[in-house]
Structures are given as C-alpha cells and as structure tokens.
Amino acid sequence: MTATAAETGAPARAAAPPVYRDALDELRALRRQGLGTAVARVRELLGKLADAADREAAGMLLGGRAARAALDGSGAFTPVTVGLLAGSTVDALPPLLTAALMTEGVRPETVTTGYNQWRFEVLAGAPTLKDAAPLVTACLLDGAAVLEKVTDPLDADEVEARCAAFPAELDAWLAAYDKALGTLAVLNTVPMPALLRDRYIDYPTKARVESAWHRMNAGILDLSARPGAVVLSADGLADRAGSGRADDRMRHLAAHAWSTEFLDAYARELGRIVLARLGRAKKVLVLDLDHTLWGGIVGDDGIGSLKIGGGFPGSAHVELQSLAKDLSRQGVVLAVCSKNDDAVAREAVATHPEMVLRPGDFSAFRANWEPKPGNVASIAAELNLGTDAMVFVDDNPAERGLMARTRPEVAVVELDADPAGYARALAEAGWFNQLALTEEDRTRAALYRARARRDELRESTGDIEAYLRELATELTVEEYRPLNATRIAQLFGKTNQFNLTGIRYGTDELARRSAEGTAAFFGIRVTDAFGDNGLVGALAVTAAPDGGWLVENFVLSCRVFSRSVEDAVVGTLLRAARAAGAPAVHGRHVPTAKNGRFAGFYPALGFAGHDGEFRHDLTQLAELPDWVRIGTGEGKFHAP
C-alpha cells in the first residue's frame, strides 16, 4: 500500500493545470465552471477562433439563457438588441453575431421572425420587432427575393422589369420600417444566382440579364443615401469569406442560401455596424515598426538597409503605410509602439526617403523597451481615450498574444508571417468603420496632433492658468440645423465619458423633435491658438415641469477636457435661461459604465439636489472662467 503525502509529511504536489485541445474546448470548460469570473478570458478565446464553424459553436455556447445571465451579471458586457430578418434560413447567424460582438464586450439579444417573413413583418407594422425595440435591424436578402415574382425566368423582358422594380420596393420597405421602428436598418446587394445566369444558352441574353441585375444592385446601393439605412455589398463579403453560396444539398434540404463562411463575414460586418451605432468604433491605430511598417530591424540593420518601397517585401510595407495614411486622412489617429531606441526609431521615420508616414503623422510615439500593453495604455492616457479605442498591428505573434491576454479590449489585427497581406488584413477588419463621416472626423487626427502641441505648451508654461490663457480658447454655440445634424448625432452617439445621461439621439430623432418643438439641440464649437477643434460638444434642452429648462443630456469630447469648457458651456446656458425669465435650470446625471467621474459636475457649478437630479435657481451664478471667450457668431441657448 502506497503512503499518502499526508502520511509521509511530504508536501502535496500542486494539481497540473488543465490542458485544452483548443480555444473552443476551453470555452466549454469555462461555461461549465461559470462564465462570470472569466470574462476577459472569454473575450480573448473568442478572438482566437478563426474558423466559422468554431465561431458558430462558441456563439451557441454563450448564447444560452444561463450563459447570458452569467455574462450580464458580470457587468463587463453591454447588452443590445438586434433584429434579424431574412429571405432564407439563417440559423447560424445569431450565434455568429454573438461571437462577433462578445469579442468586443457587447452581448447581443437577437430577435427573429418566421421564415421569409421580412416583407410581412415590416409592412404589418413590425409586430414582432416593435416590442423588442432593436437598436439595429438587418434584413439579409438573396436572389429568391427578386425572382419569386418572376413567372418565366427565360423571359428576359420580365426579369429585366423585375430588376428595375426591386430597388423601389426596398425603398418602400425602408419607409415602412422607419415608420414602425425608426432605428437603423441594414440591407445588402443581391448576388445573381448562378442557376439564373447559366440557364441561358446564348451569350447576349446572359449579358443582358446580368447587366439588369447590376443596375438593380446599383439602385439598392443608392438606398444608403436614406437616413437610417446602411447597405452592404454581398459580393464584397463573399470575396472576403471565400464563398457565398450555400451547399446545393443544404439549399434543397433546409432552404439555405448562404454558406456558413459568408454568414460569419456578414455577422462580423453587422457587428461593426452595431459598434458604430453604439459609438464604439475604434479611433487609434497603434503600429509596430520593425518588420511591420518596414522590413528589417532598424537597430541591427541600420536605416539604409530597411526594406521600404521598391520590390517585395518593401512594397508590402509601403502598402500598409499608405493604408494607414489614408485612414489618418479620414480621422483615424496614428501612434507608434515599438521596441526600439527612441532616437533611432524617430530618425528612421523622419529620414528614410521611402517612408510614406512621417513624424507629423503620429499623435503619440513610444519607442522603448517596456512591455507593449503598458505602452498602449500610456498612449491611451496621453490621448485621453480608453484602451478600447485602440487597434494594435504588430508582426510578432508573441506581442499580439500578450496584448490579447492582458488588454482584451484592444483590437488585435491577426497577421500572417508573409507581409504581403498586412494591408488587406487591416482593411478587411473594418475596426474604424463609421455610419457617416463628418468633417470633424476627417480632421480628428490633425486635432490630436495639435493637442500634442498644446501639451508641449502646458509643460513649458508650468502655471496652468497661464497656459489656459495662452491657449486662447473660444467657445461658440451652434443651433441644430441640417448642416451640423450628422455631427451632433455623432457626438451624442459616440461620446461615452462626458455623457451625463447616456441618452443617444439619431439624426431622425433630432429632426423630428426639433420640428415638433419638444427639444432644442445645440452644438459646441471650440477654437484656440492651435486651430479649430470643430464641434466637440452637444446639448439637448427641453422644458421642465416648473417652467424652467431641463438639460436632457450634455456630451463633450475628451479632446477638450481639463480646460473649463464644460463649466463655460453650462455657465452660458444658465445666463441665457435667466435672461429668458426661466425660474430654474435642471440637470441630470444618470450613471453609466464610463461617466462616473462626472457625477459631481452639476453640484460643483452651484446646482442643488441628489440622486442624479439637480436644480439651479439662477439666483447666484458662478463666474465664467476668464480664459474661455464666449463667441457671438452662430447662435445662443434657448428653450424649445
């Protein structure tokens, strides 16, 4: 009989850590153990799943009632409702969407209707969707939606007429959806069924029908000009997925129209749309240098030996730089995070003749020997953004793995060993996709670079008030109008930190409530010695029951924090209310995951109250900060 450790006095051997076959196997184990204490690991494991079938299985694991309750109880996931309509069987889509969004800290609740009920559901007033109030509704259509009204597919005239009519039919569907729900709707172009194209045996008819089909899809794409509508390219998604059509057997047995790989690509893109609608599109692209922006190691090889431009692999590194440059021109903020000597790295960026990106393109630069997760956190702090706004590109799988493990909120772009696909991998990921691009978006990168110069001024000045006076900040109130509507809606939709009530308004709601006179909306523009910061804040003002004004929500971009802009805005509003004879101004603070630091904002400005409800009686107004000038150009605050 063998003696135990307790009998011999020997220390017990620690249990060996469990060994899992793959990420999906570990997810199954975590689900059995309870998911609520392992949310970071759940997100990391989801990010490792590349196969569509594995992602579907993971979404099914995490989409059950018990799993949803555990994850919601953790407080680490934002719940959101998404409507899913289709003209075919898309059973794999809800779990694939779950996997896509939970990687980003969002837990979707999907609402579906019966098979091929997309027309009836909306034209009947959306009885299933209305109670669920989806933030976004996707309607995935295939060729059957077009051809089901064609009696003779060999009649090219009939097919051509049907193609011509279909965009208008979808336009009417969007109008009905907007009336019933008024939230964001996502449509797609419709691939031409191969069986239709190949049914014709003469080439002129093949070409004629395909031309009509292309014109139809062009008309569908034009529907994206409607407010509240997004149109995706099904062909583009199929190209990304490697296949679009379902297996013929599944088409017959289960009415499938799309491959699982296509549905996975669609779910990922739909996830990007949901994130954009939540104001959680990424803002900062953090780039490694060695073997990423250039070929070679600058510290070992020297600047002259770096592979940039010319033939491959230098051409691939220039392609990535050019993509980063174009992203920057659309408002993406660029940063460097490299294990290098700072002076050597900066010299290479500044002096190599083939570099597309130069020092002035970067808003933050970290070249040192510290762990990269800490450097990314430092960059986020410098830019006054959360680390969840970051996208990390690095050729080294060990660095990518460390980032995913320690900073799961940072989006990590998975790269092959071959740099030829670096630019494509970043572009296809779509982390920076927006519902609409405003002029402020386009200038964001320049604004952050100007902010870096402001920080240099602050450090050189020492005295904070002297710095603020030298900054010469000017605040201008802009009343809501069509030209600034998109930006005001974007500020309400995307601002998370200084967002006092968490209420988000879409462009349709802004227009409707302004026309009804139930709310007045305003934008806040800030300029200073370094240029125009653009519209950086927005307010919604309604009538309070006591005849006073109620600030229904106030949001302010982090770009102008710590400059007393928020104090000047409310101080100006209080003075406008008193001048208009209002008895009081009311403000609210509704706690969210990110606005806790501003819970005391209203009391600090003389408002009385508690539990998030505050009132200012307008008898004694605090002095406005004398380093913020109030412009007189565009408009002034008023009640609706």
What pLDDT sits at residue 528?
Answer: 85
Angle between helix 39-48 and 397-406 (nearest 10): 150
3-state secondary structure at position 30:
helix
Q: Write the CB contacts of 156 (distance below 8 Å, at least 6 apart in sequence).
A: 200, 205, 208, 209
* Cα–Cα dist 426/416, whole Å: 11
Q: Which residue has the higher pLDDT, 439 or 412?
A: 412
Question: Closest Cα partner for 348 from 310, 392, 398, 304?
Answer: 304
Residue 1's pLDDT is what? Answer: 45
Contacts of 417 (CB under 8 A, 6+ apart): none
Question: What pLDDT score does 464 carry?
Answer: 65
Position 7 scores a pLDDT of: 53
pLDDT in tens, 298-309: 988 899 999 999
Decide if 142 contacts 87 (C-beta within 8 A): yes
pTM exceeds cut of 0.85: no
143 vs 452, higher pLDDT? 143
Alpha-carbon Rg of the chain, whole angstroms? 28
Given this model, what pLDDT does residue 603 score? 92
Upper half-sphere CA count for residue 595 (Cβ side, 13 Å) = 23
Q: What is the pLDDT of residues 578-619, one digit of tens each?
A: 999 999 999 999 998 888 889 999 999 999 999 999 999 999
How far is it, in rounded angstroms, from Cα 615 to Cα 286?
Answer: 43
In this predicted structure, what is the pLDDT of residue 462? 52
Question: For 396-412, what is each residue's pLDDT tens digit?
Answer: 988 998 998 889 899 99
Give the tokens for residue 495: 């601002």
- Backbone φ and ψ for 173, nearest 5 degrees, come out as -65, -45
Q: CA geometry: angle at 415 spanning 414 and 418, to 5°? A: 165
Burial class (CB in 10 A: 0-12, 13-18, 19+), 370: exposed
* Residue 2, pLDDT above cutoff 80: no
d(CA 593, CA 389): 15
Mean pLDDT, residues 555-583:
89
Q: Exposed, middle or buried: residue 410 (CB in 10 Å: 0-12, 13-18, 19+)?
A: buried
Nearest to 227 by CA among 478, 19, 464, 512: 512
**Higher pLDDT residue, 626 or 170?**
170
pLDDT at residue 76, as a whole number: 85
In the three-class reduction of DSSP (H, G, I as helix; E, B as strand; rest coil), residue 528 is classed as: strand
- Name the nearest CA neighbour of 315 among 348, 288, 346, 354: 354
Q: Looking at the predicted structure, is the pLDDT value of residue 333 above 60?
A: yes
Phi-psi region of 620 (alpha: psi -120 to 50; beta: other; left: phi over 0): beta
**For 352-372, what is the mean pLDDT?**
94
pLDDT score recorded for residue 625: 87
**Element spanning 586, H or E:** strand 585-588
Identify which has the larger pLDDT, 76 or 237.
Answer: 237
User: What pLDDT is attached to residue 592?
Assistant: 87
187 phi, psi to nearest 5 deg: -115, 180
pLDDT band per the 50, 70, 90 thresholds, residue 468: confident
Residue 230 neighbours by CB under 8 Å, 6+ apart? 184, 185, 186, 187, 224, 273, 435
What's the chain's average pLDDT? Answer: 90
Extended strands (E) in 381-501: 390-393, 411-412, 473-479, 498-499
Determine the Cα–Cα distance for residues 524 and 309; give it in Å rounded to an integer. 44
Q: What's the confidence (pLDDT) of residue 205?
A: 97
Q: 61 Cβ partners below 8 Å, 6+ apart?
A: 27, 28, 31, 67
Instruction: Using the structure block, give the residue that is written with the tokens 């630019």.
Output: 423
Sheet with 333-339, strands from edge to edge, namely 362-368, 333-339, 284-287, 390-393, 411-412
Average of per-residue pLDDT across 213-236: 96
- One-letter amino acid for residue 524 of the chain: I
Region 216-228 average pLDDT? 96
29-53 tens-digit pLDDT: 988 888 777 888 898 899 889 899 9
Confidence of residue 73 (pLDDT cuts 50, 70, 90): confident
- The mean pLDDT value for 543-557 works out to 95
Half-sphere exposure in the Cβ direction for 417 (13 Å, CA):
0
**pLDDT over 90 for what percent of the chain?**
71
The CA distances from residue 582 to 456, 554, 576, 617, in Å, are: 43, 19, 9, 9
Residue 320 has pLDDT above 70, yes or no: yes
Closest-CA residue to 59 (of 87, 86, 82, 85): 82
The most distant pair of C-alpha atoms in the chain lies apart, rounded to whole Å, by 94
Tokens 């519902």 sit at which residue?
A: 435
Q: What is the pLDDT of residue 452?
A: 66
The tokens describing 464, both together, are 């904070």
Higher pLDDT, 389 or 457: 389
Task: For the sheet with 229-232, list strands across it.
Answer: 106-112, 78-86, 136-140, 184-188, 229-232
Residue 193: name the closest of 207, 210, 216 by CA: 210
